[in-house]
Amino acid sequence: MNGKSIKNWRLEDRPREKMLLRGTSALTDAELLAILLRTGSSEKSAVDLARELLVSAGDSMRSLSAYTLENLTAVKGIGRTKALTLLAAFEAGRRSLDDNFGDERTISSARDVVEYMRPMVYHLDHEECWMIFLNVKNRVICRERLSSGGVSATVMDVKMVVRRALEKFAAGIILVHNHPSGSPRPGKADIRNTSELRKAAAALGINLLDHVIIAGRRYFSFGEENFRDCN
């Protein structure tokens, strides 16, 4: 199936026709991307261009979905129009995952937290710290990004978190951050931050319900692991 033009391929091998005949699940990652790209370049077919994109991201759709406009257009053959189409598709995918949680969000477990927050952090190559604010019935008031850090660390302002919780009349809060390294195990800073936030919140009648660390498909929950004493 090599060649610059997909039009020269057998009908059943062309991505769009293959999707019509066999459904989207039959397509490879490169074929899905090729449909979004629509056309290739003067040197490569759309599928070849899609494969090159994937290789640049370590053959990982998750890594590719974190690409910026600059990352995408750095690949020869990917102009602004193609790059913007891909960025829009990746964002639509993240929003669809978020919508699956429903309009009335009640958090009753760490898995609920992961389902709610994974679309926001799973694709990132740096750490971000988020807070979920809840009412007395554990229904979500809102979520906010507290900070965005480097590859291995982010910063949390405990006083600011507690102040925001008071402003929103939150009865409970849940701290969430990601580990781009792939390991969800908490570090010393994670344990220290959890302890400091729990004490500061409790002093004002606010309950820190959990601290969840998301790392790809895995997660760590301070609540599930009974990490109550973090001194």
Number of domains in the chain: 2
Cα(196)–Cα(198) distance, integer angstroms: 6
Res 218: pLDDT? 92
Q: Which two tokens stand for residue 179?
A: 């580990």
Low-confidence ranges of the chain (pLDDT < 70): 1-8, 10-13, 97-104, 150-155, 227-231
Res 11: pLDDT? 61
Res 102: pLDDT? 46
Res 26: pLDDT? 86
Residue 227 lies in a domain: no
For residue 48, count other CB atoms closer than 10 A to its CB: 20
Bridge partners for 133 per DSSP: 142, 173
Res 63: pLDDT? 82
Cα(191)–Cα(79) distance, integer angstroms: 45
192 and 113 co-located in one domain: yes
Q: Of the residues 79, 98, 117, which one is the last residue of a structural domain?
A: 98
89 and 146 co-located in one domain: no
216 and 108 co-located in one domain: yes
123 and 191 co-located in one domain: yes
Structural domain of residue 84, as residue ranges? Answer: 6-98
Res 111: pLDDT? 95
Residue 1 lies in a domain: no
